[in-house]
Amino acid sequence: MKKLQKKHSGIATLLAFGLIPLSGFTTDVYLPSFPNMAEALHISSIQVQLTLSIYLISYGISQLFIGSILDSFGRYKIGLICLLILAASSLVIALVHDIFVIYLMRIIHGLAVGAIVVAKRAYFVDSFTGEKLKNCLSLFSIIWSTGPIVAPFVGGYLQSVFGWESNFYFLACFALAFAILEFIFSGETLKNLTSFNLRKIAVIYLSMVKTTSFTLGIVMLGLAYCMVMVYNMTGSFIIEHHLNYSPVVAGYSSLILGFAWMIGGFIGKATIERPFIKKIIFNLTLQFFFVIAMMISIDSMADLYTLIFFAFIIHICAGFTFNNYFAYCLGLFPKNAGIAGGLTGGMSYMVISLLSYGIVNNFPAKDERNLSYGYLILIIISIIVMLILYKNNQKVIRSKRQALA
């Protein structure tokens, strides 16, 4: 087994950070191409949006089981093989213009990217401890947000110059380049392999899921990113069809909203020591008032600028929630970092895929009003989950006080 060499640890860490945004890249790079894909493949907008939902579901499922495999067989080889699989399946999508083949390749994308991302999350838990680990974990959502920032911006230009297939050629080159760098500079970081015992693994999974704060935290992660995903699935159609702008403008709009997510992450990192429940409740209240303001403004001043302004504020708040809960969930079970990371990502993406597709189905990519309805539903659910979480925390505190008395 090739171990990570100490002299290469700095480059390996940079490569690990570089692969954290991969899920966002694989999700967002072809968003500006949605309308053109629908036209070129002679399919409906819902069928194109389904390529994203299928990816999210398989990405979530992959993370549910891959953590235990990574803890038992190591991170390095599995991650390297999955990068090569990602490159090959991206080439198939670009070359074979059949929607059912694209669906299959997107399933493979989700499974491969899930393994890569969970392996790289576990890399940090393997390599760092204490405050350094805490800082790395809090940086995850900030680093991850570079994917949604850069990908649609790049995708918009690729679409305008070369067509929708170029997005998947780009993904293939990206994955292949990282596979070569990983082969040269990276290596195995897992110090102690866990025996692959299904009963033992099932007990660990069950104990994590039964931890109420962990499970509710995962739901909050899913709800936060679902706000971004609802925009991703509908924004290009609203901007290109309803508002009559180009794919480049749709790409720039996603770029701006990607910065919003990153700002939310930075604010989350800066306020990491503040009382947890209070800052999340304040954040959700702010989101609620802005989505109401968005709905009120639609009749008098609905255009591209108001759409981006309100979405920008809502996405900042979503990034803030995600940053706080991501670091929290991943830090709860340091002895089973692979399983905890996989379960966190897997369950949250199951929430994201089901909710986002359900909302888009009921409120199609028509205009700003339908987008605001989607935001409102997600914020109301988030508030309800937070109230349940608050009551659960109060119950735990009371139980601890009674035990000490």
CA 228 → CA 16, 59, 300, 389, distances in Å? Answer: 24, 17, 25, 23
Contacts 24+ apart (CB under 8 A), 269-278: 269/138, 269/139, 269/142, 269/323, 272/138, 272/324, 272/327, 276/324, 276/328, 277/386, 277/389, 277/390, 277/393
What's the pLDDT tens digit per position in 23-80?
Answer: 888 988 888 888 889 899 998 888 888 898 899 889 888 877 787 788 778 888 899 9
Identify the pLDDT of residue 404.
Answer: 66
What's the pLDDT tens digit per position in 238-267?
Answer: 888 888 888 888 888 888 888 898 898 888
Confidence of residue 194 (pLDDT cuts 50, 70, 90): low
Identify the pLDDT of residue 344.
Answer: 79
* Residue 338 confidence (pLDDT) above 70: no
Q: What is the mean pLDDT of residues 318-345?
A: 76
Q: What is the mean pLDDT of residues 199-221?
A: 83
What's the pLDDT tens digit per position in 289-329?
Answer: 999 999 998 887 778 889 999 999 999 999 898 888 877 77
Q: Which of 160-174, 185-199, 330-344 has the lowest mean pLDDT?
A: 330-344
Identify the pLDDT of residue 207.
Answer: 83
Closest residue by Cα to residue 26 from 124, 104, 112, 125: 112
Identify the pLDDT of residue 312.
Answer: 95
Most confident stretch, 62-66, 96-100, 245-249, 392-396: 96-100
Tell which wins on pLDDT, 341 or 81: 81
* Residue 104 confidence (pLDDT) above 90: yes
Residue 12 contacts residue 185 (beta carbons within 8 Å): yes
Helices (H) and strands (E) counted in the chain, each on its own, are: 16, 0
Identify the pLDDT of residue 370.
Answer: 87
Identify the pLDDT of residue 329.
Answer: 79
SS3 15: helix
Q: DSSP string spanning 183-227?
A: HHH--B--SSPPP--HHHHHHHHHHHHT-HHHHHHHHHHHHHHHH
Q: What is the mean pLDDT of residues 167-178?
A: 94
Radius of gyration of the chain (CA): 21
Identify the pLDDT of residue 189.
Answer: 81
Domains of the chain: 7-398 (1.20.1250.20)
Q: How far apart are CA 306 and CA 86, in angstroms?
A: 37
Confidence of residue 167 (pLDDT cuts 50, 70, 90): very high
Confidence of residue 365 (pLDDT cuts 50, 70, 90): low
Q: What is the mean pLDDT of residues 200-215?
A: 81
SS3 265: helix
Identify the pLDDT of residue 108.
Answer: 96
* Beta partners for residue 188, in sequence order: 3
Q: What is the mean pLDDT of residues 333-343?
A: 70
Identify the pLDDT of residue 132.
Answer: 75
